Structures are given as structure tokens and as C-alpha cells.
A = this chain, B = another copy of it.
Amino acid sequence: MIAEIVSTGDEVLTGAVADSNAAYIAARLYEIGIPVGRHVCVGDDLERLTAVLRESADRADVAVVTGGLGPTVDDITAMAAARAAGEELQANSTARAYIEEFFKRFNRPLSDSDARQAEMPASARPILNPVGTAPGFTMVMGGCRFYFLPGVPFEMRRMMGDNVIVELQAQCADDKTQGFYREKRLSLFGLPEAHVNERLARLTDSLGDVKLGMLAEFPVIHVKLVAQGPDPEGMEARIEKAAAEVREWVGAYVFSESGQTMEEVVGGLLTAHSARLALAESCTGGLIAHRVTNVAGSSDYFVFSAVTYANAAKINLLGVSLDTIESHGAVSEETAREMAEGVRRVAGADYGLSVSGIAGPGGGSPEKPVGMVCIGLCGPGHSFARRYAFPFENRMANKRIFAETALDRLRRTLIGAGDIQDKMQGET
């Protein structure tokens, strides 16, 4: 069985946005053992899209097509599918009823262009969209089963998981020629990519048929272990053996082996400790709080963050002493420590975590350059502050690595591990 992925839309074709949908769909298909032959991307061009669909129908067994199902004049995917299949486009009554229901629920009038989203090729079966108005659909052309999904990533992902993967898995179970794919991800923070690479280079011979790959998602590095082949027997055991070898070399930097983000790992640890967290952020500007609160249920352990950009806010709201700021500067271990202690006190939390640094592009000095950050952590019976230096001039890069360093510092405290090693500094 071989799959193809088709992305439609001028915004992808012209480079206005990168095609993240194709990567997501490919990863999901590989997970259930369906190899992908190619991705194709075309614009909102009826003739070209029709041609691309016909080609996939000739070549592939499964095709997932995204985009062009919305209510606008650019949305021509259903028409192209109908032409490619030589069918009429007609309003599907199930899809129509669902769209009407969606609009009724939110007291919105149903316009003609909204209603047009229920139109699909005559032989198509609708795939309802639980999180948006544009339904998808599935149909067979040539020897290929097509799935048409919306281009909005969270709608596509939901329908991919709820419908497409479930259907395809049922089919794969019957197909004995099918290839299998197993993957494990170890997520690392605190070691530069080149160092991870060097440490793991010596492993490539000893891992057997398990393939080792690295994926940098700044500032995190995922080490991927992949086994692929016709026989799923023992694949997981071989991957686990390889993971043990990887841990031997970089284990101190692994924060997750389950795909969890740093904020999810920290949230789980805070829950396990029944501990409540307060934050005092300066240069990260709310990013740490934003990440912590992206985790559903974070209100159980997250109390408060003070984004104290101005010094007056640090003094008046967190009780940092003017003297400390004047003698050591706003970006100093001393100020970071007082911020952490202050926010822990005012919020009545178990842990106070603080960040003060220079994200850039301006504001640096020879003594305190852009990329320098001080992190404070105050918890039951201890208070910690430390300075780190990173080599980035980019504001977003610094905000990200400062936030990750702070959360990792808290994680290490909660699991009783030491501080991030000195290698990290200035090298990531």
C-alpha cells in the first residue's frame, strides 16, 4: 500500500506559508505503517488540481488531500474531485444538515456560500468536521481511496485522527503485505545539536536495523529511533535496546520519552508533588506563563505570573529592593533571587521561578551582553539563582531558550537532579 499527500492553496504554493499539514499527515501515515510515495502541492487552479488528483488516482492506493473546502470562491477542491472522477457535484444531505445544525447552535444565519460547503462529488461519503463548518469527504477514484480534509491545521488533525487513521488502520489489519513502522522519541534540552550528534555518531554501527535520526525543534532536540519493515515482531524491543544506548551518552539531558513538552512534564511533576507555582518574568515577557497554561488543567498548580518588565513593577509588586537593583542591576542573580522569593511570597505558592535577562536585539553591554539571563528558583527550604549566557542575538530565540532553561531548572529541582551542565553555556 502506498499513499500520496496533496496540499492545495495559493498560500502554500506561493510560499506565504510552509506546508506543515503534509508533514503531519505523513507522520501519522508512517505510524500505522503506510509509506508515502510523494507529496504534491498545487494552487487554487481547477485544471492543475484536477490533473494532480487524476495522477494520484493512477499511482497511489491512498491519497489525503487538504485545503480548498471552505466557503470562498478560491475553494475549488470539491469541483476538481468531481471533474477528476467524471461525476456531478451535488449537495450532500448529511453534510448540509450538519452545517445547518452548526450555524443554528451559534445563532448564525446560513449564507449561500456557507451552504455550498455541503457540495461534494456524487459518490462521496462525508466526513463530518467536529470543530469547524467545512465537512470533508472520502471517495474512490481508480484504485485509490481519497480523503479530502480542510486545510485549517487543527480541523485537519482532528479529522485525520478521528476518521482517516481509524479507517486505514482497519484496512491495514487485513493487509499482510503491509510494512510496519515504530518510532521512539527522546526529547533533550541543554546540549547543542553538534554535541548530541558527536556523542551519538559512535552508535550508528551498534544499533542494528534501528535507524537513528535527529530533529531540532529549537531549543529542544528530538532523537528519533525508527524501525521499519514487514515484520512487527520484536521491533519495540529492538527500539528499547537502542534507546538504552542513547541514554548512556545523553541521558542527563533527556526530559521526555513520551512526546510530552517541557511544560507538560513540569505540570505532571508539580501535580505529583501537590505543589503550586508562581512565576516572575522579565525578558521572557509572559512566554513561560503562556506555555504553562497551554496545558489543560494547569489551574490546579499554576497560581500567578508577574510579568514585571519595568523595574518599578519589580520593586512595588514583588518587593525586590531598590538597593539590589542599583548595586547589581535588574539582570543579576541577586535580582532574580529576590524576584523568585517575592513572587512566591505574594502569590502564596510553593515554588517561585523567575527570569531576568537581555533578549535583544538592543539593551546589551560588554559586561551583560544580549543572550545573558539570570534564573531564580525559590522553593521549600532552598533558594537558587544562576547566570547563563547564550550566543543568540535574536529576540525570539532568546525568549525561547530562556523560558526552556527556567522550566528545565524547575524540572531538575522537582526530580532532585543537579543543574544543567556547564557545556550548555554559550554553546547551544
Q: Which residues of B contact A393 (CB under 8 A)?
A: 131
Segment 127-175 of A: residues with Cβ below 8 Å from B = 131, 133, 152, 154
CA distance A10 to B23 in the complex (A): 11
- List the one stretch of A190-198, A237-245, A411-419 in contact with chain B: A190-198
A73 interfacial contact with B, CB 8 Å: yes
A308 interfacial contact with B, CB 8 Å: yes
- Size of the A side of the interface (Cβ < 8 Å), in residues, is 107
Contact of B294 with A395 in the complex, beta carbons under 8 Å:
yes
Q: Which residues of B contact A11 (CB under 8 A)?
A: 213, 215
Contact of A286 with B293 in the complex, beta carbons under 8 Å:
yes
CA distance A411 to B65 in the complex (A): 39
A70 interfacial contact with B, CB 8 Å: yes
CA distance A392 to B133 in the complex (A): 11
A177 interfacial contact with B, CB 8 Å: no
> Chain A 48-89, CB within 8 Å of chain B: the 1/0 string?
100010000000000000000011111000000000000000
CA distance A399 to B201 in the complex (A): 42
Q: Given the known A-B contacts A38-B40, A310-B303, are A193 and B14 also in contact in the complex, defined by CB atoms under 8 Å?
A: no
Q: Which residues of B contact A107 (CB under 8 A)?
A: 426
> Chain A 363-395, CB within 8 Å of chain B: the 1/0 string?
100000000000000000000000000011111
CA distance A395 to B154 in the complex (A): 11
Contact of B19 with A15 in the complex, beta carbons under 8 Å:
no
Q: Which residues of B contact A361 (CB under 8 A)?
A: 296
A297 interfacial contact with B, CB 8 Å: yes
Q: Which residues of B contact A308 (CB under 8 A)?
A: 304
Q: How far is the CB of A100 from chain B (nearest CB, A)?
A: 14
Contact of A39 with B16 in the complex, beta carbons under 8 Å:
no
Task: Find the B residue at minimum CB distance from A316.
Answer: B346
CA distance A402 to B197 in the complex (A): 41
Most buried by B among A18, A201, A316: A18
Contact of B52 with A394 in the complex, beta carbons under 8 Å:
no
Q: How far is the CB of A324 from chain B (nearest CB, A)?
A: 18
A98 interfacial contact with B, CB 8 Å: no
Contact of B26 with A392 in the complex, beta carbons under 8 Å:
no
A410 interfacial contact with B, CB 8 Å: no
Contact of A214 with B286 in the complex, beta carbons under 8 Å:
no
Contact of A395 with B304 in the complex, beta carbons under 8 Å:
no
- List the one stretch of A108-116, A118-126, A265-273, A333-341 in contact with chain B: A108-116
A41 interfacial contact with B, CB 8 Å: yes
Q: Which residues of B contact A36 (CB under 8 A)?
A: 13-15, 43
Q: Which residues of B contact A312 (CB under 8 A)?
A: 303, 348
A: residues with CB less than 8 A from B are: 10-20, 22-28, 30, 36-44, 48, 52, 70-74, 105-108, 111, 113-114, 131, 133, 152, 154, 193-195, 197-198, 201, 204, 213-218, 224, 279, 281, 283-290, 292-294, 296-299, 302-310, 312-313, 316-317, 346-348, 360-363, 391-397, 399, 426-427
4 A-B pairs with least C-beta separation: A285-B293, A286-B289, A15-B27, A15-B26
